[in-house]
């Protein structure tokens, strides 16, 4: 059985963004959310009580927020990939699962949330 990787999880990060395929989504924007689950070996950080040997989740939150609030894209799939790329830019991250939330999407029927979830690994 494979060893379970250590995980650092950031849930419920929110930002106002202008993502979507419709002009009204780009004009007025809406809230988007992201959950990020990073696979990180935390042994060295824990042994030395050293922030430099793990992922600084405050920095990560700011970087993910910048993507959510930043340059608009049409698809949640594209947004999720950009968020995953931010996480994988840190060489300590072996893999990441990203879930993008669009709870204010206009679907014409009652719903709680629309999400797209992806998992990416370091090559």
Indicate which residues carry an active-site annotation: 102
Give the 3-state DSSP-derived string for the chain, with helices as H, strands as E and coil as C.
Answer: CCCCCCEEEEEEEEEEECCCCCHHHHHHCEEEEEEEEEEECCHHHHHHCCHHHCCCHHHHHHHHHHHHHCCCCCCHHHHHHHHHHHHHCCCCEEEEEEEEECCCCCCCCCCCCCEEEEEEECC
């Amino acid at each position: 059985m494979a060893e379970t990787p250590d995980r650092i999880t950031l849930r419920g990060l929110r930002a106002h963004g202008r993502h979507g395929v419709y002009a009204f989504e780009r004009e007025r924007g809406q809230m988007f959310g992201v959950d990020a689950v990073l696979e990180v070996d935390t042994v060295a950080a824990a042994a030395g009580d050293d922030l430099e040997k793990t992922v600084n989740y405050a920095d990560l939150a700011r970087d993910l927020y910048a993507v959510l609030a930043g340059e608009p894209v049409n698809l949640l799939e594209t947004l999720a990939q950009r968020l995953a790329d931010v996480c994988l830019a840190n060489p300590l991250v072996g893999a990441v699962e990203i879930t993008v939330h669009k709870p204010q999407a206009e679907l014409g029927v009652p719903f709680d949330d629309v999400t797209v979830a992806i998992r990416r690994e370091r090559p």
